[in-house]
Amino acid sequence: MMTNDLQDIAATLDNAMFSATATPQLGGTLSLDDAYAIQAMSFDRRLERGEVRVGMKMGFTSRAKMVQMGVDEMIWGRLTDKMLVEEGGSISKADYVHPRCEPEIAFLLKKPLAGRVTALQAQTAIEAIAPAIEVIDSRYENFKFSLTDVVADNSSSSGVVIGAWNSVPDDISNLGMVLSQNGKAVEIGSSAAILGHPIRSLIAASRLVEERGEVLEAGSIVLAGGATAAIALSAGDKVKLDVEQLGRVNFSVEP
Amino acid sequence: MSETQIQKIADQLDEALRDARSIPPIVDQLQAGDVDTAYAIQEINTARALAEGRRLVGRKIGLTSQKVQAQLGVDQCDFGMLFADMSVDENGTVPFGKLIQPKVEAEIGFVLKSDLTEGALTLVDIVNAIDYAVPCLEIVDSRIADWQISIVDTIADNASSGLFVTGTEKVDISALDLRLCGMVIELDGEPVSLGAGAACLGNPLNAVKWLAETMVRSGRPLKAGDLVLSGALGPMFPAKPGDSFEARISGLGSVRVQFETDTALAETA
């Protein structure tokens, strides 16, 4: 597809995000390369508005989700400082189209990671680990999209609440996670849902960004992927995530 | 309902268990929601097993997930009896032909060091009575065709018990985060069921307390040495011949089981 056409789509998706208005799906003519090109162009528009890149998020990191989407590869999206929600703070539902959230684990890197890396290289690049709740929002009508649609739409990333940073426990392969909405446990899972072990997500992240000519920079945040199904958010919701050994994250939803 | 009718249903379930074949739901033969009669049916088969010399080694607690309770339209757990001959070796092989439609679930097993005979208990009593914990894979099975169970079907059918595998290392519960401990069952290395301690009534010890009080009322109180399978920490997953499962519970280690392959079935046929 021509660059101008891709730029037009990037502008449409950026406007949909900025105005919190749903937009129709893009349709099936895009390649995955096109989709990532649109994501990058759309992201550049955010940077031009003064936002600062802080990291990236991984998506489709559970086998069940890949099967559900009919794909066999993970996807990723970019995070800016504007997407960071203060821990214990709130989001305004009006800023989103149809927000959902899911429990995650966040890595903070102290060293860059580039291309294919070993588990040891990935592990030694981690400065800290934190419990996190990702706020996802599709800019498409009814939260319905194809693989290329969602990649073009920054892989539905829209916000993240990150808890206190911890040193990395000896074993992060099976940390229990309980997501509560208004005091009731609604999703219960384990970090094992993230590719069997969250470190695999960091390894994949390094490989996937290299395919687009990028590296994971020191100081950047990597969201490893949702550990349970996402829950829909309504105004007035109080959301809490407890992660074994890592602690708690809270936020609330205002109208 | 007459004692003859109750006995007849107990006989149907007992024969189904022995022959490893399913029968239609028994709920049609008694009133929906008649939990007392369902337990009376279970008790007939418990008494029968004990008379045959089978050794009672513990209990299992079922329906400990709010989602499962909602699916069955109930607001309570249920219990079933565990006999020594239902125990499978750690990393042992399960003969598929003895089962009808097995599924696996992972849970925490608690072994008691003292009797729990008081009718009103606190969680402190429960904590004091627990000797140690072990990771467990429960192989549930239903004698009711296609798992079309209501609450009375599963209670009468020994809470859909099948077999169980326990880990072999004793863990002190003070070393565990019973609410947040992660759980994963892997089938040939792929996660197929995920959860955490909170999935079992918010905390597995809540389920043990419910069981202990219920067992006092039922006349078979929990005793020192009993094993309590406290309830699944995540969804159950269907097993096929040839499957190898490993359950890991954070802080407790892991436990494994394999299901006999089709080839092995063919050889024995």
| A171 interaction partners in chain B (CB closer than 8 Å) | 250
Return the structure tokens found at A103: 């429990």
pLDDT above 60 for B264? no
pLDDT score, position B218 = 93
pLDDT above 50 for B69? yes
The predicted-structure confidence for B167-177, as pLDDT tens digits, reads as follows 999 999 999 99
pLDDT above 70 for B266? no
Per-residue pLDDT, averaged over A133-145, amounts to 95
Of A63, A190, A245, the CB nearest to B184: A190
Distance from the A45 Cα atom to the nearest Cα atom in chain B, whole angstroms: 39
pLDDT above 80 for A46? yes
The CA-CA-CA angle for residues B261, B266, B267, to 5°, reads 100
Q: Where are the domains of chain B?
A: 3-268
Q: Which of residues 104-163 of B touch A (CB under 8 A)?
A: none
Residue B70, class by beta-carbon neighbours within 10 Å (0-12 exposed, 13-18 middle, 19+ buried)?
A: exposed
Return the structure tokens found at B25: 């739901």
**So what's the architecture of B3-268 in CATH?**
Alpha-Beta Complex (3.90)
The predicted-structure confidence for B175-232, as pLDDT tens digits, reads as follows 999 999 999 999 988 999 999 999 999 999 999 999 999 999 999 999 999 999 999 9
Superfamily for domain range A3-254: Fumarylacetoacetase-like, C-terminal domain (3.90.850.10)
The predicted-structure confidence for A61-77, as pLDDT tens digits, reads as follows 987 777 777 777 899 99
Per-residue pLDDT, averaged over A210-239, amounts to 97
Do A244 and B250 lie within an 8 Å CB cutoff? Answer: yes
Q: Which of residues 104-143 of A touch B (CB under 8 A)?
A: none
Return the structure tokens found at A117: 């890396």
pLDDT above 90 for B240? yes
Phi, psi of A161 (to 5 degrees): -110, 120
Give yes or no for A228 touching B (CB within 8 A).
yes
CB A32 within 8 A of CB A26: no
| B248 interaction partners in chain A (CB closer than 8 Å) | 173-174, 192
Do A192 and B184 lie within an 8 Å CB cutoff? Answer: yes
Per-residue pLDDT, averaged over B30-52, amounts to 95
Q: Average model confidence (pLDDT) for chain A?
A: 95
Lowest mean pLDDT among A238-252, B6-20, B251-265: B251-265
Do B195 and A196 lie within an 8 Å CB cutoff? Answer: no
CB A152 within 8 A of CB A7: no
pLDDT above 60 for A37? yes
SS3 content of chain A, % helix, strand, coil (to 5): 30, 35, 35
pLDDT score, position A2 = 82
Coil/strand/helix, residue A32: helix
Give yes or no for B232 touching A (CB within 8 A).
no
The predicted complex's ipTM stands at: 0.92
pLDDT score, position B263 = 60
Which residues have a Cβ under 8 Å from the Cβ of A233 and sit 6 or more positions away? Answer: A91, A93, A96, A99, A100, A101, A135, A239, A253
Per-residue pLDDT, averaged over B153-158, amounts to 97
Per-residue pLDDT, averaged over A1-27, amounts to 93
For testing the chain A interface, which of B105, B176, B180 should be mutated: the one with the most A CBs within 10 Å?
B180
Lookup result for tokens 């390094």: A206
* Residue in B with minimal Cα distance to A242: B180
Q: What's this model's pTM, rounded to 2 decimal places? A: 0.94
Closest CA to B110 of B249, B18, B229: B229
Q: Where are the domains of chain A?
A: 3-254
Q: Is A8 left (phi over 0), alpha (psi -120 to 50) or beta?
A: alpha
CB A6 within 8 A of CB A44: no
pLDDT score, position B269 = 44
pLDDT score, position B265 = 52
Which residues have a Cβ under 8 Å from the Cβ of B70 and sit 6 or more positions away? Answer: none
Query: Beta partners for B194?
Result: B184
Give yes or no for B235 touching A (CB within 8 A).
no
Total residues belonging to chain B: 269
The predicted-structure confidence for B72-89, as pLDDT tens digits, reads as follows 888 889 999 999 999 999
Per-residue pLDDT, averaged over A173-183, amounts to 98
For testing the chain A interface, which of B200, B250, B255 should be mutated: the one with the most A CBs within 10 Å?
B250
Closest CA to B232 of B259, B193, B266, B191: B193
